[in-house]
Amino acid sequence: MGRMEGGTATQVLDVAERLVQERGFNGFSYADVSRELGITNAALHYHFPGKAELGEALIERYAARFAEALSALDHSDASPRDKLEAYARLYAAVFRDNRMCLCGMLAADYLTLPDPMRTRVVAFFDENEAWLARVLAAGRADKTLRFHGSARSVARTLVSGLEGAMLVARPYADLERFRATARLLIDGLAVEP
């Protein structure tokens, strides 16, 4: 894996993440990153020997940030519904910057990704679904959320719905289109007082 000592490596990850979120993994090259940062391809290869290593580092960093946000929600006094709404806002924040979920974009390129990246993309979605399933189960237990089937299947539906909402809202550059879908998904689970 590349050297992660900050500085140039962090700048490379920042630029590469934005490019993947805008164009997809197959839509950018090392030359794009080098040009934007004003560094040589050799300097880029020093930090990330190949594009696959760069991709793995991108997923690791993105998943860690997402996990931190979910952990903060777990340690808050937020209700299960509030946690679901906060989860949808994580997606909205990415979309607001004219980007897509990194792992959603990588899922679109899934068949062309190296196996270690594929494994990490699946792990990202599995971890998000597991977190959502715990929130949904808590909401069912405290009778603030209602749904048919397992919490895990509803969690899968939420992740798929939010990822799809981003994708469909993208050509319209319409954050409200995304938010309306997120509200519909979450409101459909809420038990009205």
pLDDT in tens, 162-171: 999 999 999 9
Whether 50 maps to a domain, the answer reads yes
Query: Residue 171 CB: number of other CB atoms within 10 A?
Result: 8
For the chain, the average pLDDT equals 94
Residues spanned by the domain of 161: 8-187
The token pair that represents 37 in the structure block: 């940062």
* Nearest one of 190, 188, 166 to 177, comparing CA atoms: 166
57 falls within a domain = yes
Look at residue 191 and give its three-state secondary structure: coil
Q: How many domains does the chain have?
A: 1
Q: Which of 162, 165, 187 has the alpha carbon at shortest distance from 174?
A: 165
The answer to whether position 148 is within a domain reads yes
CA distance 52 to 31: 15
Q: Is residue 147 part of a domain?
A: yes
| Span 93-125, pLDDT tens digits | 999 988 999 999 999 999 999 999 999 999 999
Asked whether residue 2 is assigned to any structural domain, the reply reads no
Output the pLDDT for position 192. 79
58 has pLDDT over 80: yes
CA distance 166 to 10: 26
**CATH code for the domain of 78:** 1.10.357.10
Find tokens 């798929």 and name the residue: 160
Q: What is the C-alpha to C-alpha distance for residues 101 and 1, in angstroms, rounded to an integer? A: 23
64-85 pLDDT per residue, tens? 999 999 999 999 999 999 999 9
Q: Which amino acid is at 75?
A: H
For residue 111, is it within any domain? yes
Question: Which pLDDT value is given to residue 5?
Answer: 45
- N- to C-terminal Cα separation, the chain: 51
Q: The pTM is what?
A: 0.92
Give per-residue pLDDT as tens, 137-151. Answer: 999 999 999 999 999
Q: Is there a domain that residue 192 lies in?
A: no
Number of residues written out for the chain: 193
> Does residue 1 sit within a domain?
no
Say which DSSP state 20 is in. H
